[in-house]
Amino acid sequence: MAMWSLGGSWCRGRAIPCRTTRNWISRRTECAGHSAVVLPQCSTSTCDVRRVVVPQSQARKRTRSGWPVPVRGTMMDTPSRPHSTHAPNLAHAGRRLRVVVGMSGGVDSTVAAMLLQDAGHDVTGVFMRNWDELNETGACTSEAEYRRVQEVCARLGIACHKFDYVKEYWNFVFSDVLASFRVGLTPNPDILCNRHIKFGAFLDEATTRLDADYIATGHYAQNVIGPGDLPALARGVDSNKDQAYFLAGMPADVLRRVMFPIGHLIKDEVKKMARERGYRDIADQKESMGICFIGKRKFRSFLQEYVVDRPGGRIILHEGSRPLVHPETHDGVHLFTLGQRASIGGMHQRCFVVGKDVRCNDLHIVRGNAHPALATATVLASDVRWTAGAPPPDGSRVCLQFRHRQQALDGTVYLPGATAPAETRQVSNVMGHIPGETKPVWWPLHADECEVLLDVAAAAVTPGQAVVVYDATNHLCLGSGTITDTDIGTGAGYCNVES
């Protein structure tokens, strides 16, 4: 019986390893000592089988622990077990590397450093101070976090450093976030932080100051070898924790110097490793999910400190054949996100935001979350960054992701220079899809833009967030861009709504 059958499809007689007992079993056979039948790509069965990228030349090889070596080529089913998935480790087999790990004191970065130590590398920990807590009393506890990182590094037996990026964070992340909110967008600070700080300033300083061969982080993503032997980004095995969305658009020359040691693991396995190695206190601590410059404050309170309110804005309800102006007003469209629930007094049914007119400060809403205006089929993206440096062919079939933890959606990508309508490009102040209205055209596309057309309309696609483009065949990340607008058409603005 053949051990492996290469290719994306599942074949009937194929053998796979049970992730718990490591016995080789067929598709239709129960593993000895197991009650669950192993199903293809099943995320709920006991034997949870995962798909990873594997080189054809290494498809029949296995590591010392008996698990396949995942790196490049075609798609293949394999369980999520501890093994080396980053291309750099394989490219420098047998060489002791100097790796600088971005440490937060949490379980993910701790286990990442631990695995690199187990692989025999020279590991150093670095704490990145990105926000000045003296400016925001109580909003961020960077000194306490640094002490925790020092303690973790001491227990691991590795050196610990602190890099200060307060100035860079303010200039390249925080300022851009505020500028986006002011024009009605909903930005993603994590993507900007990864681009400019963790895989920008930190990578440069770790290389020059600490003479690092690579940097590593505790992100749930995988650095693999893609077409043309170029580094490529793949999703983390843990679909619930996958962070490739926040890393997409990272160029190949950066990826070739980065490691993601825990990308092939699920969160429970990471915590189990930490507990087994004496780090139970770290494994059991509450996970930090917030943004450092917001701290424990409510988001609205934070935003109102930096972006001036615009009170008196109209709330326009789209119902029936004619839009109605609600008697209540709002404090500015920058406080709302497309697709979010809007709490409007006197409305017995839930209302949702479908459009924002920045110039007129009008907020457009509909009743219920099933309204067709909440769906988007066409998206314009700008500041598009392709991992390989060049885009895929125009009209390529791709998979698209518009928010974290979202299942990738099938679609088509169109690029600048393609055959375009005869209309002249127009500019719109309106974001979203207002019932009964059409939008100004986007053509011709600018050099850093792309247009994506979904096979099936998606809900609440939000300008300012990222759209990540994946190859429809091997599911590697091709690149990402910032969502600028949604739904294409012709027409004017929406200020002429009667009061």
Residue 193 known to be catalytic: yes
Tell me the residue ranges of DSSP E strands in 217-312.
221-225, 231-235, 258-259
Is 292 considered catalytic here?
A: yes
How far apart are alpha carbons 226 and 392 in whole angstroms?
Answer: 14
Rounded Cα distance, 459 and 185, in Å: 17
What's the one-letter identity of residue 28? R
Contact 415, 445 (CB under 8 A): yes
Q: How far apart are CA 345 and CA 245, in angstroms?
A: 36
Which of the following is catalytic: 47, 292, 351, 399?
Answer: 292
One of 18, 47, 153, 193 is an active-site residue; which one? 193
What is the full DSSP assignment across 169-209? HIIIIIHHHHHHHHTT----HHHHHIIIIIIIIHHHHHHHH
Beta-strand ranges (E) seen in 55-178 are 74-79, 98-102, 122-129, 159-164
**Torsion angles phi and psi, residue 196, rounded to 5:** -95, -30
Q: Provide φ and ψ at 171, rounded to 5°.
A: -75, -40
Can you say whether residue 217 is alpha, beta or left, with left for phi > 0 and alpha for psi between -120 and 50 degrees?
beta
The DSSP H or E segment spanning 90 is helix 87-91
Q: How many CB atoms lie within 10 A of CB 122?
A: 15
In three-state secondary structure terms, 222 is strand
Take residue 499 and report the two structure tokens written for it.
């009061």
The pairing of beta strand 49-54 with beta strand 341-342? unpaired
DSSP-derived secondary structure for 456-487 = EEEE---BTBEEEEEETTT--EEEEEEEEEE-
The C-alpha angle with vertex 395 and arms to 371 and 56, in degrees rounded to 5, equals 110
Q: Which residues are catalytic?
A: 193, 292
